[in-house]
Amino acid sequence: MSSQPKHDIFQAIADPTRRQLLRLLADKELPVTVISKHFPMSRTAVSKHLRILSEAGLVGEQKVGREKRYRLQAEPLIELKQWLSFYERFWENKISMLKHFVENEETADRKLVTSDRNKRESEE
Amino acid sequence: MSSQPKHDIFQAIADPTRRQLLRLLADKELPVTVISKHFPMSRTAVSKHLRILSEAGLVGEQKVGREKRYRLQAEPLIELKQWLSFYERFWENKISMLKHFVENEETADRKLVTSDRNKRESEE
DNA sequence: GTTGCATTTAATCTTTTAATTATAAAATTC
DNA sequence: GAATTTTATAATTAAAAGATTAAATGCAAC
């Protein structure tokens, strides 16, 4: 039902306020009124940030009575991890990479550029 | 060395064009004229994106004759990895987390909400 | 020196984003 | 049903981002 990335993950986490929101909602389930007390902005502004996070699938909503509680949904961050995994070798094996790079610059390109982007399994 | 993050990493990688740039410069060292051929925008626009990446410390510059070659510098992405590592347990141990969550949901939640509500009432 | 190429900077424009206040809608409590 | 609380929506404003064209800087070759 939820967690369908209409919004870009990278863009969703680009904003520091939204990162704080994720942090706050990591282990708690809170309504907007409570959340907005932690931030120096209006409820509406917080609500909009939550909407963006929601559209990115990073937070889930649950209606409890007349309040709507938000909670972290970390799964979409896997995409970020996958993206990042490509670059890990560049700092982990930096010395060997550099050596390899100097040795055969041209051919090394192809091998590294080939990316196997795992298609994610169909979530509902 | 150099490359002190004037720009935010999260913001730097938020733009899809800049992510493509990183990808392109991962294993190659290229000048702007060559780079901009891969993108449907002007050299100036590409140059600006490169500047932002440079200020975030994600690309390095090297002058070769009259051209300036750009190359990936992946080290600042470690910050991203660290940020991400906090959230990994939320999808890796999802089942156990969920269990933990359900167990303490009522008490933890109520405590927060009520304390907040009391605080507000006493404020007025 | 001058010419030619690569790149950056400056000024400008358009679009997006973030925030506000005010109003409306939904649900609980009396 | 009326009042209160929680949240969402609308209209608006201000700031930031992305891109463009045109002018300027830097270097190498002549």
| CATH assignment of the domain containing B39 | 1.10.10.10
- Report the pLDDT value the prediction gives residue A7, as an integer from 0 to 100: 72
What is the CA A66 to C1' D10 distance in angstroms? Answer: 22
Residue A18, classed as helix, strand or coil, is helix
Higher per-residue confidence, A109 vs A16:
A16
Higher per-residue confidence, A24 vs B65:
A24
Is B67 in the same domain as B102?
Answer: no
Q: Residue B96: which pLDDT band, with cuts at 50, 70 and 90?
A: low
- Report the pLDDT value the prediction gives residue B91, as an integer from 0 to 100: 82
Is A57 in the same domain as A92?
Answer: no
Residue B24 scores a pLDDT above 60: yes
**How many domains is chain A built from?**
2
- Report the pLDDT value the prediction gives residue A17, as an integer from 0 to 100: 94
Percent pLDDT > 70 in chain A is 69
Is B66 in the same domain as B101?
Answer: no
Is A91 in the same domain as A59?
Answer: no
Count chain A–chain B contacts defined by CB atoms under 8 A: 83
On whether residue B80 sits in a domain, the answer given is: no
- Report the pLDDT value the prediction gives residue A66, as an integer from 0 to 100: 85
Is A22 in the same domain as A67?
Answer: yes
Q: Which nucleotides of D are covered by protein (CB under 7 A)?
A: 5-10, 17-22, 26-28
How many helices and strands (H and E) does chain A possess? 7, 3
On whether residue B30 sits in a domain, the answer given is: yes
Is B66 in the same domain as B19?
Answer: yes
Chain A: give the shortest CA distance to residue B94, in Å: 9
- Distance (Å, whole) CA A108 – CA A102: 10
Higher per-residue confidence, B86 vs B100:
B86
Is A39 in the same domain as A68?
Answer: yes
Domain, as residue range, for A66: 9-72
On whether residue B64 sits in a domain, the answer given is: yes
Is A46 in the same domain as A88?
Answer: no
| Residue A49 neighbours by CB distance under 10 Å | 22
On whether residue A121 sits in a domain, the answer given is: no
Chain B: give the shortest CA distance to residue A5, in Å: 15
Nearest Cβ partner for B77 among A14, A30, A87: A87
Q: Spell out residues with C-beta < 7 A from strand C.
A: A 11, 14-15, 17, 40-42, 44-45, 48-49, 52, 65-66; B 31-34, 43-44, 47-48, 50-51, 61, 66-69
On whether residue B23 sits in a domain, the answer given is: yes
Contacts of B37 (CB under 8 A, 6+ apart): none
